[in-house]
Amino acid sequence: MLDALRITLSYPRTSWQLCLLGVIAGVCAATVIIIFRLSFQYIQLQLLPELGAYEQLSWYERFMLPFLGVIAIYMVAWITGFEHFRLGIPFVIHRVKKHFGLMPLRTSINQFLGGIFALASGFFVGREGPSVHLGAAGTSFLGDGLKLPYNCIRILTGCGIAAGIAASFNTPFAAVIFVMEVVMRNYRIHIFIPIMLSAAIGSVMSRLVFGEGTGLLFLSFEHLDSIIYLYLVLFGMSLGAVSALFNQQLINLMKYAQQFSMATRFTVAAFITGAIGVFIPDAMGAEFDAVHSLLNTDIAIGMVLGILVAKFILALVSIGLGIPGGIIGPVMVIGMFSGALLAYPLETLMNSTEYHDGYVLLGVAGMLTAVLHAPLAALSAVMELSYAPEILLPAILVVVPAYVVSSQIFKNRSIFIRQMEMQDLPYKQTAITQSLEKTGVLALCKQNVYQFDHHQILEMMEYIKHHPTDNVIYREDKNAPWHLVETNTQLEEDSLPYITSTLPIYSYQNTLAEVYDELKAKRSGAVIIKCHLEEKVYGIITWDALHRYLFKLEH
């Protein structure tokens, strides 16, 4: 039964089996994320009267809280092994691109517990980083436990990421777009369908536990007069400059911090977070509700600027020094404050704050676009988070100039790509590899293989004589390697009637990309597909069959 399932999932096509696995993956990932969210919220509510209310603590409690957090994070890293402290979205993208989305267990433990302690202790990090990592881990463990083909496990990892984001922010459509635009970077219908199902499951489960609302539902978007559209272009250009500054300074800090130990980096992060929290408690944490309560008051523009600068610094410090958490949440909060600040000149000129919430939302769209280089994900996120589809046109007028200024004028690139390059995490693939990794070896495996051993040499020669085109393999004994036996078509004298070549062994979980890497140098031969835990031979894949598959026409 499992073999039939594995063969079906080896093909790059939509099937009810893949859709069912997408639903199961959504349930697994959403369950992990719900437990994660409830855990850090429970700890925070033991310390605060409500989530994000750090101003209710005394000054020395605000100063000490980050130190308690880093002590707990460091202890988890020490127990699991410091070499396994590789976390966050860049690491997940690397694993998806180079390891089929398979996530190491110890890094996932670090992300789960470390993320809980970081979010509960006032660090300015987001919950989407742990959501992506843990969603990917929960589903990759499922796929690897069932020994499914690697091409399917990669899709299930995408399903887990989408379900994790949807369960964290209640934004299923934005979750799908984020996975396709940022993580997978591959728009295929057989990938879209199960990922959409998983995102829907994640959102439904999140709503059952946390309610129907979204993170930015408190912001209402009012229709903007057409005369304001020109200002939106300048608005977006300013956000592009802010995002380029943020990305560059974050990479500079990460490079500089590499020379210091983890304990030193964590201590510095805790000290700066606690020190700023003493004087500006509103700068701690990345909870949207706390931002709403702050921006909803008649706050002076000088205070908005001060909190923006403080949060800008805390985001650089927390993420740049390795505190486990996401970057998207802080970028959204920085975008909210940037939007409020950049709207001030127009509001003063028009003597009206009618459009204040709209500029806050547009600030989120512009910052997300320019920092992540994910315009579609940014547009869909602000629409879902605010339940305001009419924001689309104004958001485009902000997103496009933000992206162009950031990438063309300041030569800025996606922060995830820059982080992977700085951390030496490979992510690039050739077009051939990308194409062949969509298909498992069982989809092309020739199963009509005839096996012989050293007791059957005469029978083998006789069989080859009468069936020269059949697939024949041979080995000396049980522990010897398999050889492909073929009719010798050369007309040299004294040549044997058949030739043999050693068959490299590949698992039934592999994709055609690994087989191509094995055979491309010789452009001949074959590999044998088998289960490493059993003696069962599934069949062989020849270079000729692989070459024909690679160059067949696609719609």
| Mean pLDDT value across residues 253-262 | 93
Residue 514 has pLDDT above 80, yes or no: yes
Weakest mean pLDDT among 192-201, 228-237, 288-297, 438-447:
288-297
The architecture CATH gives domain 2-213: Orthogonal Bundle (1.10)
pLDDT at 349 over 80: no
Q: Read out DSSP for 300-344?
A: -HHHHHHHHHHHHHHHHHHHHTT-SSBSHHHHHHHHHHHHHHHHH
Backbone angles phi, psi at 475, to 5 degrees: -145, 150
Burial classification of residue 261, based on how many CB atoms lie within 10 Å of its CB (0-12 exposed, 13-18 middle, 19 or more buried) = exposed
Residue 457 has pLDDT above 80, yes or no: no
Between residues 95 and 503, the one the model is more confident about: 95
Quote the Cα angle for 41-133-362, to 5°.
70
Least confident of 389-398, 458-467, 523-532: 458-467
| pLDDT given at position 555 | 42
Topology given in CATH for the domain delimited by 226-422: Clc chloride channel (1.10.3080)
Give 492's pLDDT tier (boundaries 50, 70, 90). low
> In Å, how far from its chain's centre is CA 316?
21
Whole-angstrom Cα distance, residue 305 to residue 338? 8
Strand order in the sheet with 505-507: 505-507, 526-530, 537-542
For residues 332 and 368, give the distance between their C-alpha atoms in angstroms, rounded to a whole number.
Answer: 7
Average pLDDT over residues 244-259: 95
Looking up tokens 């005369």 gives 227
d(CA 236, CA 232): 6
Does this chain's domain 2-213 share its CATH topology with 226-422? Answer: yes
What pTM was estimated for this model as a whole?
0.90
Give the model's pLDDT for residue 201.
95
At residue 489, the pLDDT reads 59
Average pLDDT over every residue of 53-73 = 92
Which pLDDT band holds residue 296 (cuts at 50, 70, 90)?
Answer: low
Average pLDDT, the chain: 86
What's the sign of the alpha-carbon dihedral 23, 28, 29, 33? positive
More confidently predicted of 244 and 282: 244
Instruction: Please provide the distance, in angstroms rounded to a whole number, between the alpha carbons at the two ends of the chain.
Output: 31
pLDDT at position 219 is 63
Question: Can you tell me the distance from the alpha carbon of 436 to that of 11, in angstroms, rounded to the nearest whole number?
Answer: 11
For 440-550, which CATH class?
A: alpha beta
Per-residue pLDDT, averaged over 259-277, amounts to: 95
Confidence of residue 84 (pLDDT cuts 50, 70, 90): confident
* Domain boundaries along the sequence of the chain: 2-213, 226-422, 440-550
Residue 185: left if φ>0, alpha if ψ -120 to 50, beta else—which one?
left
- Rounded to the nearest 5 degrees, what angle is found at the Cα of 489, between the Cα atoms of 488 and 493? 80
Lowest pLDDT segment from 311-320, 351-360, 509-518, 521-530? 351-360
